[in-house]
Structure 1
Amino acid sequence: MRASLSAIRIFEAAARLGSFKDAAGELGLTSTAVSHRVRGLEGDLGVDLFRRSHRKVELTQAGAELLEAARAAVSLLDNAIDRISSETRSVTLTTTPAFAALWLAPRISEFQAQFPNLSLRTEASHTSIDLERTRGIDAAVRYSLSTSSEGQLLVRERFKAFASPGTFARQAETRSVAVLSYRWRSRGLEKLALDAWETALGQHGSLKVISYDDEHHAALAAVSGRGIVVLSDVLAQHLVSSALLEDVLPDASIPGHCYRILVPNRTQADRDTQQVVEWLHDEMRSLRT
């Protein structure tokens, strides 16, 4: 016998989210309707797909096997529908606000020129999203510890001191150096970086610290000539190549973390998502050498 596609889609959502209630919310159904369709599917197949308890549902071995196939089937259907319903296709990428603003945004026009029928949408957040449970996100660029093994490595970073052309020389001459600080996401790395540059920059005069909320705000303040920012060379790459910032201490740097690309199981076979992944790798090659 053949199960209905609608029942498979409902099962996939319930299995992925681990909740009939959450699946109902995603699909615009009632929890009762989801439970009824799953019961009907189990009856048609003659096996239990879930172990039910008071607060949650868990997949049985048969359910886990069906989920693997259902994910691929739902992904293929959604991708085909997207292509049929619109000439312009889209891939949604989640990443940090700084990566989105400083690395990705300046390259969007190049991406569009290379892929004129593919739209790259960005969701910027410091919150780490569960890609397997969240529909609508096709891939993620994550800032990770250098020892992390999740996803595919895009690039390893180094932190360096940057300022707009001539700013450091002027401030060193007056013996008053402004350091543009920001709220670091890695406390251990923050202390290492700031201690290193306090020593290096302090040789050129007294230090005045100006604080910003996020690293891309501090980077843009450095572009306007406010002072020196200690920034990842990954995030500074476009600003340096555009001559908006310069490396003020070329011989000084410290290792940071890395950026990795993660793709959920449901979009790994998607051609558009893979094109975005390959493009990201291609764009990062200049930083790996």
Structure 2
Amino acid sequence: MFQQLPSLNAIKAFESAARLNSFKDAANELNVTPTAISHQIRTLEDSLKIRLFERKTRAVTLTKEGELLAASANQSLQDLLSTINQLKGSPRTLTISTTNSFAAMWLVPNLAGFQQQHPGIDIQIRAEESLIDMEHDRRVDMAIRYGEPPKQLETKALIHQPLIQESIGFFATPDYWKKHSKNTSEAVFFCTQWKNSKLPNLGIEETIKSIVEDTQPNIRYFHDENLTAQAALSGQGIAIISHLAVENSIKNGWLTQGTDKMATPITGLHYYLVIPKRIQTNQAAIRFKKWLQSTLAKNKPVN
């Protein structure tokens, strides 16, 4: 019945190269040489008697026939992988992509709780600011993102799961509060200026100006929330930062929240989970999602 089908290795090589638009990247993904990828694809083209790629000096692009085969190959391999995962009881390693600050300041400090519950599941964390193409990049299983979840929470290939809306507050060391809680005009404020220009303005600067009424406030900016927190932890000023980001520092008494006008939290954006449908039945993924949801629910900020 399937005698006329090309080899699975050839289909895998073609699908990877088509998805990544690169023989070299496909070779890295499949742990083979670019020459091997090129040979597999050439053999596939010869067997089908059609050209699948237009080969240029530094790039390859799909032909119309290649685009048609690529869509079918991708969907077929995803279906096959999902079934195999079910039969095997799911892979025991999950690769999670998230921002540098969320990884360093919340996920890593809390991950021991998950490992205690599920010692057989290995969690690998990819901390990065660039967005992963979750629909096609199989090097990542799930992503925790910051911003506003898409209005359409489910697409053909992805599920978007809202996790928690952050609450932003004013935090500093106890010693810094003693010196500046009453004289805010001399205080230094640290804010995070996100690299993603599409994120909405939360009006944090305006809130600071309404608190420091008599003078222009001294506001300094970082592009990483981790650095914002570190500046406050070193006693240099007041960080206007997510409760989630400083949760561990609050528990240890290193940072405390301000009082009076600086005690009112600012409503922030959301953290949400992106799950490819190809792993939605993966038991390791299901357990990680449930742990993430329950742990975030337990650690809501105390105002």
Separation in 1 of the partners of 2:24 and 2:183?
Answer: 64
Contact 1:99 1:235 in 2 (8 A): yes
Instruction: Identify the residue that residue 276 of structure 1 maps to in structure 2.
Output: 288
1:32 partnered with 2:59:
no
CA shift for structure 1 position 269: 3.2
Normalising by structure 1, we get a TM-score of: 0.78
Q: 1:148 Cα shift?
A: 5.1
Q: By how many angstroms is 1:64 displaced?
A: 2.9
Deviation at 1:251, TM superposition (A): 4.9
Structure 1 position 192 matched with structure 2 position 192: no
TM-score by length of 2: 0.75
> Do the aligned partners of 1:182 and 1:211 also contact (CA within 8 Å) in 2?
yes
> Residue type of the partner of 1:33?
H
Instruction: Check if 1:64 corresponds to 2:67.
Output: no
Is the Cα contact below 8 Å between 2:231 and 2:237 reproduced in 1? Answer: yes
- Structure 2 equivalent of residue 230 of structure 1: 240
- Cα deviation for residue 155 of structure 1 reads 1.1
Q: Residue 56 of structure 1 aligns to a residue in which SS?
A: strand
> Corresponding residue for 1:259?
271
**Structure 2 equivalent of residue 103 of structure 1:** 106
Given that 2:9 and 2:40 are in contact with CA atoms closer than 8 Å, whether structure 1 keeps it comes out as no
- Look up the match of 1:245: 255
Secondary structure of the structure 2 residue equivalent to 1:128: coil
User: How far apart are residue 125 of structure 1 and its match?
Assistant: 1.1
CA distance in 1, matches of 2:25, 2:196: 33
| Superposed CA offset, 1:161-197 (max 9, x none) | 1122353242134552121234333557557111212
Aligned-pair identity in percent equals: 26
Cα separation, partners in 2 of 1:288 and 1:51, compared to 1, 3 Å:
farther
Aligned residues: 278
Q: What is the distance in 1 between the residues matched to 2:227 and 2:24? A: 40
Note the residue ranges of structure 2 that are not aligned, 5 or more in a row: 154-159
Question: Any unmatched runs of 5+ in structure 1?
Answer: 84-88
> What one-letter code is carried by the residue in structure 1 that aligns with 2:246?
A
Q: Tell me which residue corresponds to 2:180.
A: 171
More helix as a share of residues: 1
Conserved 8 A contact 1:184-1:190: no
SS in structure 2 at match of 1:235: coil
